[in-house]
Structure 1
Amino acid sequence: MSQASPSQTPETPPVEVSFYEKRKKIYAKGVRGLFDNWRIGLVIFTQILFYGGLWLDWNGRQAILLHLVERKFYIFGLVFWPQDVIYLSALLIVSAYGLFLVTAIAGRLFCGYACPQTVYTQLFMWIENWIEGERNARIKLDKAPLDARKLRLKGTKHLLWLLLSLWTGFTLVGYFTPIDELMENVRTWNLGPWEAFWIFFYGGFTYLMAGFMREQVCKYMCPYARFQSVMFDPDTLIVSYDPARGETRGARKKGVDAKAAGLGDCVDCGLCVQVCPTGIDIRNGLQYECIGCAACIDVCDQVMDKVGLPRGLVRYSTENALEKHLTRQEIVAHIVRPRILLYTVILAIILGLTTWFLAHRIPLKVDIIRDRSTLAREADDGNIENVFMLQIMNTEEQPHRYKVTVDGLNGVGIAGDSEVEVPAATLQGFNTVVRVPPESGKQGANPIHFEIVASENPEIKVREKASFLMP
């Protein structure tokens, strides 16, 4: 039987490491200050737009209506059709470059102030604070045994959360189904299957995300938290703790010379952690969980006021500014850098082109379809006829009468009525017979052009190419 030598040690048993951290509920402490006021203002502003936008009236209809059934998008005085998908592409590109620009300049400002997850979490927290009280009261309530008071408070909170969530789902669907029709369907319990699905689906996810998951969405589900690092650089403004000024942190008594005691300005009160909605400690440096809400700045400034120290221990700054102790003018000079200028120029060009095309958009679209059942035929007078179907789309919110003419071959003309009345924002088919003398073209396809002009406004016109078949 062999024995282990003295130099050998028993193998260390393997330690099981979990890839998943058990969630610890975050009880964010409320704080008031400059940045909190900005956040409240943006929450109110965005929700006035969202909840109030669908009730605006324009020309006797809903001002903002993405009517999927009619395949028309109404945006105040503009009417967009599926053929206008280029404008949707431009909107997405502008949104992407706008996000890149804001992120490169000042980090996750969108996350901290205008992201729907942040906005609805804030709304839910306002309700929670109103019903259950501030941070310490909520912690105490959660630890207390279930009794009538706890059941009443929790039940009231969840009831208000559910009502807000369902109203949010109802509002979303109201942008795709006319709100008057949707209200009547709800009143008569006659909701369509898709309307009911989206009201409860969106409302349910609002209740789940803003009421329960909260920071988990920002930390584990949001892709923006992962790819933001490629848009950051040392000159990006981020919420930063100044370690050169704050360390060594520690509590101190009044009248004690902190510098002589080897202490920095940070009193290690922990309030910056208590107010953080994602539960991080900003003093540990930049972390992907930080959503840039600046609650830690507000609370730290208040603590600095109380202990008689300058504000700005936690502030919006850049990595270069903290390392090199740059002045404000130098920080601004670093922010205006080639990357920012490039994003700005691209964004300005796309916005300018989109605005120009929208301003010069002709509110008339025409598709020309040949009657395939009768490619070419000889009329009684010996002329050759082709039959065409013109799909005329009036994209304005007023009716127009259009005159149709054709050219391209000698003697070409339209047999019968050449004018058509098209109601406002309507697609209407118009059958027309084009007739030419047999000697006017060669055998096979001959190019011709249709011109459709609004009688009331000659500037509204479209010229489309077609082919006339000769036998």
Structure 2
Amino acid sequence: MTAVKIRQEDIIACTPVESKKIYIREETGHFQKIRRYLNVVLVTLFVALPFIQYQGQQAILFDVGRQTLTLFTWVLYPQDLMIFAFLFILAAFVLFLVTRHYGRVWCGFTCPQTVWTLAFNWVERRIEGTHNQSKALDKQPSSLTKVVVKGAKHSAWLALSLITALVFMSYFYPASRLYTEFFTFSAPALISGWTMFFAVCTYANAGWLREKMCTHMCPYSRFQAAMFDNSTSLVTYNETRGESRGPRKRFSQHKDLGDCVDCNLCVQVCPAGIDIREGIQYECINCGLCIDACDKVMAKFGYPLKLINFSRAGRNSGRKFTNYLYGAAIIAILLAMGEWAIDRQDFEASISRDRNALYRENNAGHIENTYTLTVLNKSRVAKTYEIAIETPSDMQLINVPTINVAPGEKRNVPFSVEALSPMANTMQSVSFVIIDKSTNSVIGNEVMFYSGNNRQM
């Protein structure tokens, strides 16, 4: 195959397509089959994950009210924000690496905007017929038939949008209650309001905005050119083999024409409505639908396949070095995430002094200081904790109760420390340890102890 040279200036300077409604023609083929199988898996996971139960509770739940994210055995709090930073950075570098090799395949095969746009188009084709029938219906004057057909389509779109919004909200509100409460009008007003908001957004994005969301609102289509080079695999048209294009009869000989029969099927199946034969364009999402359409035409005319195909313009000498940088960054982030997971405790504890009284003298003539232990149980099971003095040895705890903390509970426990011997200085550091009795995990805390010697209190 003859390589097609890809220049960044061609991508950036390309004239945008006209703003008009795109009637997407349905297509079958190799890349469409890959996308449909992949989308079935992704949508199934999207719908099913909120229904998975773990230890009698929803396994994946983002509780906005409690500001927690439950992931099976883990309960993440705002204090665990670092892991989210790592995840977003990791996703960014993986996306950059994939884009450098395969262009916008994320947009073409797995992006929710593409998945739902093609799903809405599938519904439209089932109700209105082919893309040409849809176009003809739009041009017809208003009639009862047109109102019924359009009403059926938009009703189906709204139903699909509502289901999508409910599934999305089930990640933020228990799925076991959401559907029943919503359809019995007993759900909280906030939950119902957000569900309707996301339903309207889905309906507008997948039903009306469609490719405009990708070309005008998504920043990825704009900065992708900075990651392309001659080694990036992009959907390209083999101009040397295809031109000059023109119609002809099947199996006829046309020495003055190329293999392109100018059927325009590649344009009709494109979700973005572009003509790939005009060169690389930033609107192209590398979905491969034009390849499937063109291959069918080439087979009918007895021509070699892949007139339109994924291809690379050449090799880039700096590609390996850049790949090593991306790879090193991804490995570093994975190691940091692993280190975070190993060091993370499923509880948090801190000790603070009583600000109202620096110290007091008890009946035995010993100096006491009062403290407050704050414990947050971040696990999904009840925990028992105890506190001990690590140093110095001449101090002891007074009347410290057994500390039982329910899952997700935060408790404040007051306690006192007694100095068994006189102190040489007015203050001394005391090191405490808080121990999780079920796992023997330990958190250390250091607080000052005041005696009042030689100072006016």
User: Structure 1 residue 220: deviation in Å?
Assistant: 1.0
Q: How many residues align?
A: 438
For 1:262, the equivalent position in structure 2 comes to 256
Contact kept in structure 1, 2:242 and 2:260, CA below 8 Å: yes
For 2:276, the equivalent position in structure 1 comes to 282
For 2:179, the equivalent position in structure 1 comes to 183
Alpha-carbon displacement from aligned partner over 1:85-140 (angstroms, at most 9, x marks no partner)? 11111111111112111111111111111111111111111111111111121112
- The reply on whether 1:238 has 2:221 as its aligned counterpart is no
For 1:226, the equivalent position in structure 2 comes to 222
Bigger relative CO (Cα 8 Å, ≥ 6 apart): 2
* Equivalent residue for 1:363, pick from 311, 332, 346: 346
User: Structure 1 residue 334: deviation in Å?
Assistant: 7.3
Cα 1:173/1:411, change in 2 over 3 Å: same
Task: Give distance in 2, aligned partners of 1:56 and 1:450.
Answer: 40
- Structure 2 length as normaliser, TM-score? 0.90
- The reply on whether 1:462 has 2:448 as its aligned counterpart is no
Aligned-partner residue type, residue 289 of structure 2: A
- The reply on whether 1:393 has 2:376 as its aligned counterpart is yes
Task: Give distance in 2, aligned partners of 1:22 and 1:291.
Answer: 17
For 1:73, the equivalent position in structure 2 comes to 69
User: Identity of aligned pairs, percent?
Assistant: 36
For 2:59, the equivalent position in structure 1 comes to 63
Unaligned runs of 5+ in 2: 1-14, 453-457
Aligned-partner residue type, residue 468 of structure 1: F
For 2:322, the equivalent position in structure 1 comes to 339
User: Structure 1 residue 438: deviation in Å?
Assistant: 5.7
Alpha-carbon displacement from aligned partner over 1:396-450 (angstroms, at most 9, x marks no partner)? 2222221210133341121112531122333222222122246235214x32221
Contact kept in structure 1, 2:383 and 2:437, CA below 8 Å: yes
User: Structure 1 residue 263: deviation in Å?
Assistant: 2.0
Contact kept in structure 2, 1:411 and 1:440, CA below 8 Å: no
3-state DSSP of counterpart to 1:368: strand
For 2:137, the equivalent position in structure 1 comes to 141
Aligned-partner residue type, residue 217 of structure 1: M
Task: Give distance in 2, aligned partners of 1:266 and 1:453.
Answer: 74
Alpha-carbon displacement from aligned partner over 1:17-49 (angstroms, at most 9, x marks no partner)? xx9986211111111011101111222222112
Alpha-carbon displacement from aligned partner over 1:371-390 (angstroms, at most 9, x marks no partner)? 22222222222222222221
Task: Give distance in 2, aligned partners of 1:187 and 1:251.
Answer: 56
Cα 1:21/1:294, change in 2 over 3 Å: closer
Aligned-partner residue type, residue 141 of structure 2: P
Task: Give distance in 1, aligned partners of 2:123 and 2:166.
Answer: 20
User: Structure 1 residue 188: deviation in Å?
Assistant: 4.2
Aligned-partner residue type, residue 190 of structure 1: S
For 2:42, the equivalent position in structure 1 comes to 46
- The reply on whether 1:419 has 2:402 as its aligned counterpart is yes
Task: Give distance in 2, aligned partners of 1:138 and 1:441.
Answer: 91
Task: Give distance in 1, aligned partners of 2:251 and 2:162.
Answer: 56
3-state DSSP of counterpart to 1:268: coil
User: Structure 1 residue 71: deviation in Å?
Assistant: 2.3
Aligned-partner residue type, residue 135 of structure 2: I
* Equivalent residue for 1:451, pick from 429, 433, 442: 433
Cα 1:365/1:71, change in 2 over 3 Å: same
3-state DSSP of counterpart to 1:319: coil
Contact kept in structure 2, 1:104 and 1:231, CA below 8 Å: yes
Aligned-partner residue type, residue 275 of structure 1: V
Contact kept in structure 2, 1:364 and 1:461, CA below 8 Å: no
Contact kept in structure 1, 2:396 and 2:420, CA below 8 Å: no
Contact kept in structure 1, 2:423 and 2:451, CA below 8 Å: no
What's the RMSD between the two structures over aligned residues? 2.1
Aligned-partner residue type, residue 464 of structure 1: N
User: Structure 1 residue 50: deviation in Å?
Assistant: 1.5
Task: Give distance in 1, aligned partners of 2:216 and 2:330.
Answer: 30
Task: Give distance in 1, aligned partners of 2:424 and 2:280.
Answer: 75
Contact kept in structure 1, 2:161 and 2:199, CA below 8 Å: yes
Task: Give distance in 1, aligned partners of 2:46 and 2:210.
Answer: 21
Task: Give distance in 2, aligned partners of 1:202 and 1:53.
Answer: 19
For 2:455, the equivalent position in structure 1 comes to none
3-state DSSP of counterpart to 1:54: helix
Stretch deviating more after TM superposition (385-394 or 211-220): 385-394
- Structure 1 length as normaliser, TM-score? 0.88
* Equivalent residue for 2:333, pick from 328, 347, 350: 350
For 2:4, the equivalent position in structure 1 comes to none
Contact kept in structure 2, 1:235 and 1:335, CA below 8 Å: no
For 1:82, the equivalent position in structure 2 comes to 78
Cα 1:109/1:379, change in 2 over 3 Å: same
- The reply on whether 1:291 has 2:285 as its aligned counterpart is yes
Cα 1:404/1:165, change in 2 over 3 Å: same
Aligned-partner residue type, residue 451 of structure 2: M
Task: Give distance in 2, aligned partners of 1:29 and 1:254.
Answer: 23
Unaligned runs of 5+ in 1: 1-18, 321-330
Stretch deviating more after TM superposition (181-190 or 23-32): 181-190
- The reply on whether 1:440 has 2:423 as its aligned counterpart is yes
